Structure 1
Amino acid sequence: MVLKIDHLTGGYAGVPVIKDINLEIKPGEALGLIGLNGAGKSTTIKHILGLLRPQKGKISVNGIELSSNPSAFKKQVSYIPEMPVLYPELTLQEHLELTILSYNLDKEKAKKRAKELLQQFRLDDKLDWLPIHFSKGMKQKVMIVTAFLADTQLLVIDEPFTGLDPLAVANLIALIKQAVDNGKMILMSTHILADAEQAISNYAVLNNGTIEVVGSLQQLREHYGLKAADSFDKIYRILNQEQQHA
């Protein structure tokens, strides 16, 4: 049981954005994917989701390769996008039912889990609402609820904290910790490291389409020569300087 990315090169229209990426996430591990805008984070995520076809390399979850068995691969993965994507004609209740059908979940267990998640994110009285009635933050909560309802082995989370109120952020962090404790794999892209570090143990730094370093916050501090008084966000300034001199 592992997410394995082997020598992945990919991008758009034949132009490589990410180059020879090797990455592995084991059960019970939450990995943060960080880097400047344009570093390749979104491109990496799109490849993992099967939205882009690799130019080289392969991606597998639990030994199931995306290229050879995309349907089985995708049943192992749930996704929380940066911008919520909901069906405008479906109510919240119907979004939950669609998730249950798509992942072939046990209906009774899934309904019980959905009720818990809806109460946690204060959506339990919104089941008949259409997406047009939801704020951006509420739509994001719907994406979180459906992703964790799916109960997949791998959760891919892209900039999840944008638009969430502090209570929802705390609830999401608690869910990530719980998923890790249950042996799930988490890949999260974020710039908000103060929140991320509460749930994430290791980080992969993308710079100009390559992984520069993988390790804990302390290991990243040592790699970039940060002093004890330096904010972790100084890494972004260092990455920017590296790009300017590349």
Structure 2
Amino acid sequence: MTKVLTVNHLSGGYSRQHPVLNDISFDVKPGELVGLVGLNGAGKSTTIKHILGLLDPFDGEIRVEGMTIRENLTGYRQKMAYVPEMPELYEQMTLKEHLELTAMAYDLDKTSFEKRSKRLLRLFHLEKKLNWFPIHFSKGMRQKVMIMCAFLVRPDLYIVDEPFVGLDPLGIQSLLDLMVEMKKEGAAILMSTHILSTAEQYCDRFIILHEGKIVVQGTLDEIRARYGDPNASLQNIYLAVARGETKWFS
């Protein structure tokens, strides 16, 4: 099967003397939601920054739909959408203008823009906030704007970083429903999260990072088999890794 995202032997971070990531490799295929799991400081955000092109790898390479960011900067970035943990909006632009700017950046046609934006506004109950500026938005509303911008463009790859922080239960379910829908349409999704019960329910595979290395990856059943307990929850396995109990995965 074609791989939308391929990370090959990636080492990186902020200093070559003290790399955060050490030789990690994984992929995400079309129609697949992969959970990126690990403690704070395990390397999840650094991995995401490398995929987005915000950091240059020390070694290895990252490809999206077969291309690296150096080969085609615009094409590479247009293949993905990003939902950050902390929403970043332009304070002088309304909600409507954020959506319009996103559509322009991804060359989205007017008909698709109007149809998709109308649905997203209704889904997140922001129809009456189109002319509001971010200063009037709560943290959850700001997060919903970021989610709407990402799902407006329907790229091949979604990078979703701790997306549930600040969202109300209805917003969380709306986001989950959108991810399921995009999966069915063939999108690949990499999601970093600490909400393990939700990840266990929705993710197809998992990558468990610890101290900059991939300790184990695979479906939950595959990871359970290596862990040695067919009934273990993702929470159980995560805690074992966090405590340094990794002999099962060697």
Q: Shift in Å at residue 243 of structure 1?
A: 7.8
Q: How does 1:229-240 map to 2 (within 5 A)?
A: 230-240=232-242
Please give the root-mean-square deviation of Cα atoms over the aligned residues, in Å.
1.7
Aligned to 2:59: 56
Q: How does 1:68-87 map to 2 (within 5 A)?
A: 68-87=71-90
Secondary structure of 2:56's match?
coil
Q: Which amino acid aligns with 2:13?
A: G
Distance 2:246 2:219 in 1: 26
Distance 2:228 2:166 in 1: 33
Q: Is 1:185 paired with 2:177?
A: no
User: Could you tell me whether the CA contact under 8 Å between 1:81 and 1:158 is conserved in 2?
Assistant: yes
Secondary structure of 2:127's match?
coil
Q: Shift in Å at residue 141 of structure 1?
A: 0.6
Distance 1:185 1:235 in 2: 25
Scaled by the length of structure 2, the TM-score of the pair is 0.93
Q: Which amino acid aligns with 1:151?
A: R
Q: Which amino acid aligns with 1:117?
A: L
CA displacement 1:147-183 (0-9 Å, x = unmatched): 0002111000000111111111111111001000000
Q: Shift in Å at residue 244 of structure 1?
A: 11
Distance 1:71 1:100 in 2: 15
Aligned to 2:138: 135
CA displacement 1:119-144 (0-9 Å, x = unmatched): 00001110000001011011111111
**Partner residue of 1:30 out of 28, 33, 37:** 33
Number of corresponding residues: 244
Scaled by the length of structure 1, the TM-score of the pair is 0.94
Q: Identity rate of aligned residues, in percent?
A: 50
Distance 1:244 1:29 in 2: 26
Distance 1:54 1:180 in 2: 28
Secondary structure of 1:122's match?
coil
| Structure 1 spans left out of the alignment, 5+ residues | none
User: Could you tell me whether the CA contact under 8 Å between 1:58 and 1:66 is conserved in 2?
Assistant: no
Q: Which amino acid aligns with 2:121?
A: L
Q: Shift in Å at residue 240 of structure 1?
A: 2.4
Q: Shift in Å at residue 227 of structure 1?
A: 6.3
Distance 1:232 1:75 in 2: 33
Distance 1:64 1:237 in 2: 36
Aligned to 1:241: 243
